[in-house]
């Protein structure tokens, strides 16, 4: 799914005035991190500027983040990540568009389900399916989980000189606290 389609989906979710406000839940401050463990070094980056929306009628979820918003412990790692690996000047965003499975069966005791969709990073789109905890906390819907991705699946080139510094498989963790989206009618 290309970026235009994802942006259209997000826009359609925001502009649909025929659905009650309580059907859509939004966060602009979601959290996504990734972790790379290798024998040479561990690399971790955090992003607290993640946009996500859930439509509880369709069980659809859309997530978007800016690659430049990942913060690293070392400035040089951040520079290499943006300039050499994910080429954030060329591919500024990562997106996920999918569905929360069995959403209607979730309650306070049954929070684990599966989320299925398409992840786009570095211009490459791959199917993703992972376990997710969906918690209803007051008026919030919280999505928490993690999954692993192979760097090669997203056509991210790692130079031979640092190949042992970066894991071939990266662990991605997310925590998204969605609040009701109130639209103007």
Range of the domain at 109: 27-180
Confidence of residue 184 (pLDDT cuts 50, 70, 90): low
Domain membership of residue 123 (yes or no) is yes
Q: Note the pLDDT of residue 117.
A: 98
For the stretch 36-48, pLDDT in tens is 999 899 999 999 9
Q: Note the pLDDT of residue 158.
A: 85
Domain membership of residue 76 (yes or no) is yes
Distances (CA, A) of 21 to 2, 86, 97, 133, 136: 28, 36, 21, 23, 17
Domain membership of residue 15 (yes or no) is no
Domain membership of residue 13 (yes or no) is no
Domain membership of residue 158 (yes or no) is yes
Domain membership of residue 129 (yes or no) is yes
Domain membership of residue 83 (yes or no) is yes
Confidence of residue 183 (pLDDT cuts 50, 70, 90): low
| Of the candidates 79, 78, 51, the residue with the CA atom closest to the CA atom of residue 65 | 51
Overall average pLDDT of the 94-119 stretch: 93
In the chain, the number of structural domains is 1
Q: Note the pLDDT of residue 129.
A: 96
CATH code at 121? 2.40.128.110
Domain membership of residue 75 (yes or no) is yes
């Amino acid at each position: 799914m290309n970026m235009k389609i994802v942006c259209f989906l997000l826009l359609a979710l925001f502009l649909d005035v025929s659905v009650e406000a309580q059907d859509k839940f939004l966060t602009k401050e979601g959290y996504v991190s990734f972790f790379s463990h290798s024998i040479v070094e561990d690399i971790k980056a955090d992003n607290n500027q993640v946009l996500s929306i859930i439509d509880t009628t369709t069980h659809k979820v859309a997530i978007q983040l800016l690659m430049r918003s990942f913060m690293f412990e070392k400035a040089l790692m951040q520079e290499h990540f943006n300039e050499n690996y994910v080429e954030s000047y060329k591919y500024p965003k990562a997106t996920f568009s999918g569905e929360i499975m069995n959403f209607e069966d979730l309650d306070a005791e049954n929070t684990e389900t599966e989320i299925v969709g398409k992840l786009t990073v570095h211009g490459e789109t791959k199917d993703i399916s992972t376990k997710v905890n969906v918690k209803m906390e007051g008026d919030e819907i919280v999505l928490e989980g993690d999954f692993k991705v192979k760097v090669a699946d997203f056509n991210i080139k790692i130079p031979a000189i640092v190949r042992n510094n970066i894991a071939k498989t990266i662990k991605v963790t997310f925590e998204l606290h969605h609040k009701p989206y109130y639209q103007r009618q």
